[in-house]
Amino acid sequence: MNISRYIEDNQVSATSGLAIDEMLASRVGTGQSPQTLRLYTYKSHCALVGRFQNIESELNLDYCLEHGISVNRRPTGGGAIIMGSEQLGVALAIPGKSDDSYAGVREQMARFSRGIVAGLSSLGCSIEFRRKNDLEIAGKKIAGLGLHRTPSGGLLFHASLLVDLDVPLMLNVLNTPFEKLSDKEISTVAERTTTVRREVGENLSVDEVREKILEGYQEAFQVDIQKGNYSDAELVEAQNLENSKYLDKNWIYQTTDVPDSTGKAKVKTAGGLLDVRMVLAGKMIKSTFIGGDFFTSENAIADLEQSLRWHSSQSKLILGTINKVYKRWSDDLATLPQEALIRALEMALKRAEVSAKKVAVDPYGCFVSPGSVHV
């Protein structure tokens, strides 16, 4: 890689932030723009769903409207996120080889995130790239990653790095499997994610983190990245893309044929009640929440939950993943019997599948084919 340009933006709108990222990747693909690292923040706050997610399933749109939170759709995959002045957007626009269109996703994600790993390591964080393409510290997610290949052959690598996170706001914006949002749920979620400030220090500024990430990319790729600006042609193209795509309701409210469904199960164990909730996208596990009144390490539970994100719902594959996590946290998970967890997961999964079948039989409001305006 020969990343030569660095661009810094602050407080961008959702539509502009997304349009500039895509414009850069598209132009790098055709050789019209230099390989670029962009480190930027959004205006607080916006909620961005993954490329194919149903926005009405993912977000509490009434809450967003009431609180002036703009909503939009990323070109990259993954789940819904909130972005604002304390979440750092990392966008890398680089060329992709045309003959590797679908190849080596995990390898590429790990490679492109090396700059973030190097930057946060220099702040003293023991950060690692794991599983479904996330950056984690001791099992807790600190940054979500996504990748988009443009039709022109450009690649957009994107990361949302949590310098800080307003957990109650996030839980109000995102639709969660919780029946109600109590202090307990809020503290549980807060314990299972982490932020740069929590790891390094509360006084750390976004600019200090940004500086370290820039240095991290320079070190990881041995490149001299010069601060630059957008060209006039780039700004025109980004504005056109913003108008034609990211301000277009057909893009933002696009739906998918893959149905979402939810299942939950409660199982009594010797250590206490185990409460499992699972959300499926088709036959893929989109997210899992493991709660209850048993006592164990939040890191171990966070690791279990993260391991089951974007995971196949095939029983044997779930079993394999659970076995690995139990081996990793054998002491911490001793109070949560493995067979009870597996039973609860299977029950929740079956209930989600039954719920999906019911929706398929009565598809009112569902399975709307995506519009063909934006492929």
Partner 1 sequence: MKQQFKFKPGFYYNSNHLWIKEDDSGQLLVGMDELGLDSMGELAYLMLPTVGSPVELGKAMGSIEAAKMTSELIAPLSGIVMERNEAALRNPLLVNEKPYDEGWLVRIEPTQWAVEANTMISGDQVTAWWNEEIERFETQGMLD
Between residue 308 and residue 327, which ones bind partner 1 under the rule CB under 8 A?
310, 312
What is the pattern of x (binds partner 1, CB under 8 A) and - over residues 136-175? --------xxxxxxxx------------------------
- Token pair belonging to 51: 């490329």
Q: Do the beta carbons of residue 214 and residue 37 sit within 8 Å?
A: yes
Binders of partner 1 in range 211-240 (CB under 8 A) = none
Distance CA 101, CA 98 (A): 6
* Measured distance CA(263)–CA(213) in Å, rounded: 40
Q: How far is residue 227's CA from residue 8's CA, in Å, rounded to a whole number? A: 8
**Using CB under 8 A, which of 3, 252, 281, 348 touches partner 1?**
281
Residue 142 CA, chain-centre distance (Å), reads: 10
* 179: exposed, middle or buried (Cβ count in 10 Å: 0-12, 13-18, 19+): exposed
Q: How far is the CB of 133 from partner 1 (least distance, A)?
A: 5
- Position 365 contacts partner 1 (CB under 8 A): no
Q: How, if at all, do strands 46-49 and 70-73 pair?
A: parallel
Element at 171 (helix H, strand E): helix 167-173
To partner 1, the closest distance from the beta carbon of 97 in angstroms equals: 10
Residues 48 to 77 in contact with partner 1, rule: CB under 8 A:
50-52, 75-77
Q: Does 18 bind partner 1 (CB under 8 A)?
A: no
Q: Does 108 bind partner 1 (CB under 8 A)?
A: yes
Distance separating alpha carbons of residues 109 and 133, to the nearest angstrom: 7
- Nearer CB in complex with partner 1: 110/247: 110
Percentage helix, strand, coil for the chain under 3-state DSSP, each rounded to 5: 40, 25, 35
Among 60, 87, 133, 193, binds partner 1 (CB under 8 A): 133
Q: Which of 99, 183, 202, 339 binds partner 1 (CB under 8 A)?
A: 99
- The count of residues interacting with partner 1 (CB under 8 A) is 44
Is 293 among the residues that bind partner 1 (CB under 8 A)?
Answer: no
Is residue 369 within the footprint of partner 1 (CB under 8 A)? yes
Chain residues that interact with partner 1, rule: CB under 8 A: 50-52, 75-78, 99-109, 132-133, 144-151, 256-259, 281-284, 310, 312, 360, 367, 369-370, 372, 375
